[in-house]
Amino acid sequence: MIGAAMAGSDPSRSDPVVRLDERLAEPGQALPLAGTLACAGFRAGDRDFSAPDGIAYDLLLTNTGEAILATGSARARLLGECDRCLGPAELDLEGQVEALFAPEGSEFEADDGDDGVETYPIRDESLDLTEPVRSAVAVEIPFKVLCREDCKGLCPVCGQNLNEGDCGCAERLAQEPDPMNPFSVLKDFEVRDDES
Residue 113 pLDDT class (50, 70, 90 cuts): low
Average pLDDT over residues 90-108: 87
Higher pLDDT, 151 or 172: 151
Higher pLDDT, 58 or 108: 58
Burial 39-63 (b: 16+ CB within 10 A, else e): beebebeeeebebeebbbbebebbb
What is the pLDDT, as a whole number, of residue 178? 62
Pairing status of strand 88-103 against strand 118-122? parallel
What is the pLDDT, as a whole number, of residue 28? 85
Name which of 33, 52, 49 is nearest 133 in CA terms. 33
- pLDDT surpasses 90 at 80: yes
- pLDDT surpasses 60 at 79: yes
Three-state secondary structure of the chain: CCCCEECCCCCCCCCCEEEEEHHHCCCCCEEEEEEEECCCEEEECCEEEECCCCEEEEEEEEECCCCEEEEEEEEEEEEEECCCCCCEEEEEEEEEEEEEEEECCCCCCCCCCCCCCEEEEEECCEEECHHHHHHHHHCCCCCCCCCCCCCCCECCCCCCEHHHCCCCHHHHHHHCCCCCCHHHHHCCCCCCCCCC
The least confident of 20-34, 118-132, 143-157 is 20-34
Average pLDDT over residues 28-38: 89
What is the pLDDT, as a whole number, of residue 150? 95
What is the pLDDT, as a whole number, of residue 48? 92
For residue 109, CA distances in Å to 88, 101, 113, 118, 121 come to: 41, 7, 10, 9, 6
Q: What percentage of the chain carries pLDDT values higher than 70?
A: 78
Work out the mean pLDDT of the chain and round it to a whole number: 82
- pLDDT surpasses 80 at 161: yes
What global pTM score does this model have? 0.73
Residue 186 pLDDT class (50, 70, 90 cuts): low
Sequence ranges of the domains in the chain: 5-138, 152-196
Instruction: Identify the sign of the CA torsion 166, 87, 75, 93.
Output: positive
Q: What percentage of the chain carries pLDDT values higher than 90?
A: 45
